[in-house]
Every structure is written in C-alpha cells, then in structure tokens.
Amino acid sequence: MKKKIFKLSAAVMVVFTSVVSSFAQTNLGSDCGCPTPVSSRPTVLLSTLAASGGAADGELTASNTILDCAHTYILDKKIYVPSGKTLTINPGTVIKGRARATADSATCLTVERGGKIFASGTSTCQIVFTAEADNLDGTYAISNKGKWGGVLIAGKATNNLTLAANGPFQAGVGDGKLCVADGLGTFEGFASTNSKDQFGVNLTAGETFDDNDNSGILKYVSIRYAGAVLQVGGEINGLTLGSVGRGTTIEHIEVVSCADDGMELFGGTVNIKYFSSMFGADDMFDWDDGYSGKAQFIFGVKSSTNDTITTSADADNGFEMDADDQKSNLTPRSHPVIYNVTMIGNGKQALTSDNSGIAAIEAKELTEGEIYNSVFANFRYGLNLIKSLGTRTGTSEAYHNWANTGGNGSNSLKIKCNSFVGMTKDIAIDKNAAGTLLSSDTAQFYTTDKNTHLNSIPGFTYVWAMNGNTNSVSTQFDAIPNPALSTTGCPVAPVDGFFSVAPYRGAFESSGQNWLSDWAYAQLLSVTAGLQPCPTDINGDGVTNNVDFLQLLGRFNQSCQ
C-alpha cells in the first residue's frame, strides 16, 4: 500500500507557497556536518582557483582541487578540470552559476579529456549546482531556465565522428556540426579551436578510443536552472557527456528547469542509473554520435501546460535518439539498452521545425537501441519513427531498423513491453506526414512487441497543473502505477552487475521507498515523494521534535499509514 502524505508522484508535486519556507533546503548538508543555513557559508569565486588568461584560462591549477561544504562556490566564468588533474566536491556542497550578459560567455564547468571529477554526494547530503540567484528555499521559480551553462564531461570512448562524413566544424552552426578530426568533436556551441572543449580522440593522429575510460564519479548531484543557449542549435545541456567511458559512474542525477536537454550524450559507453529530468524546455534524454551505454530507472516530467514561460523553440521529446545528425550512415550507430523509464509530457501538440514529433520516443537519424518495461504518458506521440530518407544516402532510416525492412539487422531498434497512456497516437511514422502507418506496423508494435495502449492506469495520474512563477501546484499527479504493471512475457534486465531486478513497468516500484524520496528537488519544493515511509524530520533541520509534529498535522491533516 502506498504510504502517502499527498496523493503525489515519485517526483512531483504539491507545493503550497505559504509553507515553502518551512520545508526548504537552506539546511542542505546538515546531515554530513555542513554549516547551515547555506546562506551563512562564505562565498569563493572559482576563478580564484584557476588560471587567468592565455591558453589555460579557466583551468584549475591544483592537482586536486577540493570544494568543501563550508563554502558556497560561484562559477563566475568557464572553469575547466584539465587532463591529469582532479576536482573533488564534498557532499553538501553548493556551486552557483553566475548569469552572464552574452550567450557566448555563459558559465559552465567542463571536465576535459583526461581530467576527473569526484562529486559523490549522498542521499541526504546531495551536491547542488544551481543559479546564483537561487536562495535554495523553494521560492526560486521553475520558470527560471537557462540562467547559467551546465556541467560537461569529455572522455575518450568511442564515437562515430569522421571529417569525411561530417565535414569540418562550422562556426555558428549547431545540429551536429561537431567534428574537428576523425574521432574528435567539439561540444555544441563552443569554438572548435579550443581543445579544452573537445571530446573523443584524434584517430588521424594515431590516438585510440578507450571504452573503459574513467572521468570520475557523479552521484547524488542536482543541476538546476542551467542550459544556456550559446547559438542557434548550440546549447549547453544540464549534463553533457561527450565520449564518456563506462569506467565513469553517473547515478542519482537530477536536472531541473533546464533550457535545453536534461542530459545529452555524444558517443561514449557510459552507463546511467537513477536519472530524473524535470520542467525542462527541451528533450529529457538525448543521444547521438554512436552512444552505446546502458541506462535504468529514468524519470522525466515536463512543465505543466499552464507554465507559458517554458515554450521551447526546439524539440520537446522524452527521448530524442540519433545515430548521427549528418545523415551520413556513420558507424558504430547509437545502440543503448534501457529499462524502467517513466516520462510524463504536458500534452503539447504543436509541432516544431527541427524534425520533432513531440514524442515520448523520437527515433531518427538511423538510431538503434532498446527500450523495455517503461511507462510514457501525455505526449502527442508515443513512438515517432523517421522513415523518409530526406537527404540521407542509402536505403534505410530509423523506421527500417525498427521494422527490420532494409535496416541494419534483426530489429536493431527495439521498443518492447512499454505502456503508452493518453497519447494522441501511440505510434507514428514521420509524424504521420510523409510516412504511412501500415497494419504490419501496428501488429509489430502491439502484438509482437507487447506495447500497450492505455487510457488510464490505477494509481497513476498524469494530468497536473503548476504555476511556474510561484512553484505552487493546483492539480497533483501520481507517477507510480498501483498495482504494478506486469512484465510477464517481457524481456528482463540482465544480471550483469549494472542492471537491477525490476519486474514492473516504469521507473518506480509500487510499494516501498522510491529512489527519489530522500534528496530530489521535490523535497526542496516541500513535497513528499509518494512512496517513502512516513518522514519524521519534516522541516529538515536535522532533528525530530514537536515542531515537526505540529507542521505535519497542520499541513496534511491526515494520518500516514
């Protein structure tokens, strides 16, 4: 039985602004001995720890720079962790990105190829990257997107970039114009001449990919209000991973109110576990350039339809999936394997011009991959498959990989055992414009692959409303089916040291404590996470006393059982 203080989701949200200040994260880090409130911590400009001017501008100078929670750090320029050096961020530490007047000067933190970051928070002492104006009391509006850049990590794992297919890097042009040499790319929006902003390896110069490359650890990290737009088609995502290897640990990450994608991966083999993307203006989880890692337990929710500030000029998908943006048949193609996802859209219907379908799963540019045992709700389309070739050479597209009709192998794109709820269409071809949905397509989608169309799910409510300026919710939602949706006859996550046993569809179990409850942004907004046992330290001051009890009674007016 769900233990609920509100009938609410695993991540979001009832917020009453009159009590937000009582349920804030101003005490962030108290569980691990950090000074509270956060506002009492003296500030340190990260630029004072880095080189100033010249080719090394912004690079941290110490062999191991340590950020401790006794201070609040201001990301006041582009800061880099250079090759051979390490950045260690202790639990409970807050790093605030400074807003800049021009797009190209947006502040961000980049871990260069060969550099390492060790940001290992805990479930009760997370590490927070946020906007400088955020006072961490839950009142900073979720509509404040793109106030600083984001976090970027560059590695040396496989990508499929080649100069012959991609053409040279084009300044001022996004959409995948990344290549500077075979195997070597530049993060979108950055100057190709700056090696600090490059990922992968230079195959032409004799370097080789390392799929086990280790860029460090990101664990229990929250990235808020990021996503600066550097140029059209060239934005910084909340978390950008370029050719990051599977030796890197990325888990328990949330990205909140990002102006671009929550997470985007350009090649690489890194595995992702426990990731959430909330209130972003663009895609929740995006891959390109031959990404081939694993992922499990992903949650995403769009801003509600009444949050008019979040109108995006770009795609608005759950997953956006590419093998390469250049329609050049590059190999290896993207082929991640993903289990247990829950993504909730906002019912947006208007199509945009960048090949988007406003889909839960937007499959294009010859992508491969596998998505199993997941729940998607309230997008225009469930699965949108690109079929028309456009300017691509060859005879196939993402649709053919899925339908196994002239594609790259036996159903190299697999979308199986997923539940689609409240969609205009569960499956579409070319946004049902140039492409035609065949009877064989629907037979494969529903019968062979065991995907289901549902108008509703017991215990699951996906239509909600939130004011993006006040952070108050007028209509709640619940993202956890109860009872659990069956996976009988469906693929199960392999026992391989990464995947966990999860015999249900979606990101969350229907009973017990879910993986967001102790640390996610939902707590900053003064909400319960839906399935956690009854909390005792209601106001988060580190002790349980009569104040917690009185707040519990006054706010919820019901028992927790």
| Mean pLDDT of all residues in 459-478 | 80
pLDDT over 60 at 83, yes or no: yes
Q: Is a pLDDT exceeding 90 seen at residue 204?
A: yes
Which of 444, 292, 318 lies closest to 374, judged by CA? Answer: 318
Other beta carbons within 10 angstroms of residue 55's beta carbon come to: 9
**Which of 343, 380, 375 is CA-nearest to residue 359?**
380
Q: Residue 12 has what pLDDT?
A: 39
**CA-to-CA dists, residue 136 to 15, 71, 381, angstroms:** 15, 15, 36
The residues, any chain, with a CB within 8 Å of residue 311's CB and separated by 6 or more, are 281
Kindly indicate the confidence band of residue 545, based on its pLDDT and cuts at 50, 70 and 90.
low
- Give the list of residues 6+ apart from residue 407 with CB closer than 8 angstroms, or none: 396, 400, 401, 413
Angle formed at CA 480 by CA 498 and CA 123, multiple of 5 degrees = 50
CB 317 within 8 A of CB 287: no
221/258 Cα distance (integer angstroms): 15
The fraction of the chain above a pLDDT of 70, given in percent, is 79
Q: Assess whether pLDDT exceeds 80 at residue 217.
A: yes
Give 426-465 pLDDT, tens digit per residue: 999 988 766 678 999 999 999 999 999 999 999 888 887 7
pLDDT tens-digit series, residues 23-71: 357 788 888 999 999 999 999 999 999 999 999 999 999 999 999 999 9
Q: What is the pLDDT of residue 252?
A: 96
CA pair distance 100, 106, nearest whole angstrom? 6
Q: How far apart are CA 30 and CA 21, in angstroms?
A: 17
Q: Which of 50-54, 415-419, 476-480 has the lowest mean pLDDT?
A: 476-480
Rounded average pLDDT over 400-417: 81
Predicted local distance difference test score (pLDDT) of residue 384: 94
User: φ and ψ at 552, to 5 degrees?
Assistant: -60, -50
What average pLDDT score do residues 159-174 get? 66
Most confidently modeled range among 174-183, 275-284, 321-330: 275-284
Q: Which residues contact 170 (CB under 8 A, 6 or more apart)?
A: 177
| Cβ–Cβ < 8 Å for 87, 111 | yes
Number of Cβ within a 10 Å radius of residue 546: 7
pLDDT score at 305: 57
Average pLDDT value for residue range 77-104? 94
First to last CA, the chain: 9
- Give the total residue count for the chain: 561
Residue 5 has pLDDT above 60, yes or no: no
Q: How many beta carbons lie within 10 A of that of residue 42, not counting itself?
A: 8
Q: Whole-angstrom Cα distance, residue 399 to residue 142?
A: 36
What token pair was written down for 523?
Answer: 């707590």
- Cα angle value 266/240/229 (rounded, 5°): 110
How confident is the prediction for the chain on average, in pLDDT?
83
pLDDT of 184: 94
pLDDT (mean) for 176-203: 88
Tens of pLDDT, residue by residue over 508-532, are 998 877 888 666 775 555 433 343 4
Closest to 117 measured CA to CA, from 146, 82, 144 = 82
Q: Over the stretch 328-382, which tens digit does the pLDDT of each residue have?
A: 778 899 999 999 999 999 887 776 555 456 899 999 989 999 999 999 999 999 9
- Helix H segments across 309-368? none
| Local confidence band at 410 (pLDDT 50, 70, 90 cut-offs) | low
405, 406, 410, 414: CA torsion to nearest 10: -60
d(CA 284, CA 301): 8
Is pLDDT of 108 > 60? yes
Quick one: what percent of the chain has pLDDT higher than 90?
57
For the stretch 296-311, pLDDT in tens is 999 998 887 555 444 4
pLDDT reported for residue 4: 34
Q: What is the pLDDT of residue 479?
A: 85
Q: Supply the pLDDT for residue 13.
A: 36
Residue 321 β-bridge partners: 287, 363
Sequential DSSP letters for 517-533: TTTSHHHHTT---SSSP
pLDDT category at 209 given cuts 50, 70, 90 is very high
Residue 110 has pLDDT above 50, yes or no: yes
Pick from 8-22, 37-51, 276-290, 516-530: least confident: 8-22
- Kindly state the DSSP code that residue 402 receives in the 8-state scheme: H
* 143: amino acid identity, one letter: S
Of 436 and 272, the structure prediction assigns the larger pLDDT to 272
Q: What's the average model confidence in pLDDT over 70-98?
A: 97
More confident residue, 7 or 349: 349
Q: Which residue has the tokens 């108008």?
A: 455
